[in-house]
Structure 1
């Protein structure tokens, strides 16, 4: 299973210009072919970023989340996740909320987290971070998410 970090969602809805927009949009389309998860923490961060940075109108951001909810598995945060994320943050030297996303994704059965923000290739428990915008990861990404034909 693959999990998504906030930056993938943000790039997918950002107006053109940035080449990561097209890549992220294509990734989102391809993820319908596999089992993918978006932690609720990520959806909340997406709504916050969309509003704070005015990437897109907040009503449109909310509509996107409403569209994604039935298409992807979601995972909620529980009390044990908070404590584990604190441990992961300290031991892996990553930001707490990134550690929380990793913790939730790993507990939910994800083996890969697509993220630009966390160190590419980092392994946290059974979860491997994969930067989908790193060209050297393209073959691995294609193996995880079968290309559309």
Structure 2
């Protein structure tokens, strides 16, 4: 998903490529949540129950598994909550 961040950061915020690479490198140090069958099953339930795209549901489910309290997304509804997880659009004016 870091590729999506990089693409959006340089396109929508005009963040210099070098700065965007540094952010990606920093985030790459984190311990990622692996996609496994249970993640897919849980995400498919979120997709069904909350009318999400499967890809968004996978991201939400991974964030929940990681214990995140905030998820930055330009694609999901700003202010929406999934349990203790808050969706925020970082590009919202």
Report the equivalent of 1:21. Answer: 14
Residues 43-65 of structure 1, C-alpha deviation per residue, up to 9 Å, x if partnerless?
xxxxxxxxxxxxxxxxxxxxx6x
Runs of 4+ in 1 over 3 A off after TM superposition: 4-7, 25-29, 67-70
Q: Indicate conservation of the 8 Å contact 1:121/1:128, yes or no.
A: yes
Gapped runs of 5+ residues in structure 1?
32-63, 136-149
TM-score, structure 1 normalization: 0.50
Structure with higher RCO (Cα < 8 A, 6+ apart): 1
Closer/same/farther in 2, CA of residues 94 and 6 from structure 1, 3 Å limit? farther
Which of 41, 46, 57 is 1:83 aligned to? Answer: 41
TM-score, structure 2 normalization: 0.76
Which of 1, 5, 9 is 1:8 aligned to? Answer: 5
